[in-house]
Amino acid sequence: MNRWWKKYWWHCALWTSLVVAQLVQDYVAYSSLINDIGWGQEFFWIGIVVSGGIVSVYGYGYILSLFNWRKHVFPFIAVTLAFIFVFPLWQGIWRSYLANLFFDNSTPSISQLTHFSFIFFTSITRGWAFVGLGFVIAFYNDYLNSQRQKQLLEKTALSAELDSLKNQINPHFLYNTLSYLYAQARPLSPQLSESILILSDMMRYSLHQTDEQGLVSLEKEIEHINNYIQIHQLRFDNKLAVNFSSEGNLAHKRILPLVLISFVENAFKHGKTGDPNHPITIELRVGNDSSLWFNIKNRKSEGPKEHSSGIGLQNVRRRLELVYPNQHQLHISNTNALFEVSLSIKKV
């Protein structure tokens, strides 16, 4: 209860203040009329005002939250104008057409205040006020959400950096060791030496390729995918059935690192990799507008299933939401026989 009150106390205070203000206004302006109709009907009308205000304020705020109103000017204007008339319509319908269901409003002093046109036009000002309040609430919530996302992204980046530091043995030691192993293995086994060289390139990419925004070159990401495929081909004597193609201008494009490779790893982990009739198919395309489309599909392995918690894909989803909010679409299709991932990013 305390947590609920801390979150919503100002909403309660707002509408309580409106009730009090309406009571004071009606008592000062229509005290004789209140004596005629009674306090029961007075509180009923105040309830209509408050309910109409709640519909206008929070309904408008909710509609704004469904699209990026900063970029979609005409829908924003249309929604705003529409909601300005929500409250006057609400008031006019109740006072003009539904009041007699509950009260006898046939006296002249009351009937002159229940004409639809009179109620509608005198309520438009309040409609503007409620819409303005709804906009303030929507803007404030949007600001809070952006701040939360920014803090979460910073926290995630810091956590990833700390995890990377924890998991790193001195990189120079690793590179020097791999270089030594490569030199020693080269005269003995070209395949082994090639595997060591590819592994060294993959480690170097994973540790040192991000820029200040935490992005990497798309060309390097693709090279990393090719290295991953190649080292698996070496492991299985080039018997894996994998088709990887990329199209478009890749130069100067940047992307969130280790996202695409996560889907590739998932396909190798759970997919059927040795059937040339049903190869793992990986397609990447960069459009002229710098948009990116990535698709990977694989037949599911029919053997024993390797346990997976799904945390990897959940982390990828979250990273995409943080770095590309409202700028990407991720679709995952999971059937009995086929697993497919399709990712589109508006600009890379």
What digits encode the pLDDT tens for the residues 287-341?
999 999 999 999 988 765 554 434 477 888 888 888 888 899 999 998 888 999 9
Q: What is the pLDDT of residue 137?
A: 86
CA separation for the pair 277, 190 (Å, rounded): 30
Burial class (CB in 10 A: 0-12, 13-18, 19+), 202: middle
What mean pLDDT do residues 239-265 have? 90
Q: What is the pLDDT of residue 171?
A: 58
Q: What is the pLDDT of residue 339?
A: 92
Tell me the per-residue pLDDT of 186-196, one tens digit each, with 9 for 90 and over: 777 777 777 77
Residue type, 164: S
Predicted TM-score (pTM) above 0.75: no
pLDDT tier at 172, thresholds 50, 70, 90: low
DSSP string, 107-142: SHHHHTT--HHHHHHHHHHHHHHHHHHHHHHHHHHH
The CATH number given to 238-345 is 3.30.565.10
CA separation for the pair 221, 219 (Å, rounded): 5
pLDDT tier at 242, thresholds 50, 70, 90: very high
What are the domain boundaries of the chain?
2-160, 238-345
CA separation for the pair 334, 204 (Å, rounded): 33
Q: What is the pLDDT of residue 270?
A: 84
Q: What is the pLDDT of residue 11?
A: 77
CA separation for the pair 194, 178 (Å, rounded): 11
CA separation for the pair 45, 250 (Å, rounded): 64
Mean pLDDT, the chain, rounded, equals 79
pLDDT tier at 99, thresholds 50, 70, 90: low
What percentage of the chain carries pLDDT values higher than 90?
15
What's the Cα-to-Cα distance from 119 to each of 49, 85, 95, 157, rounded to whole Å?
Answer: 12, 12, 8, 56
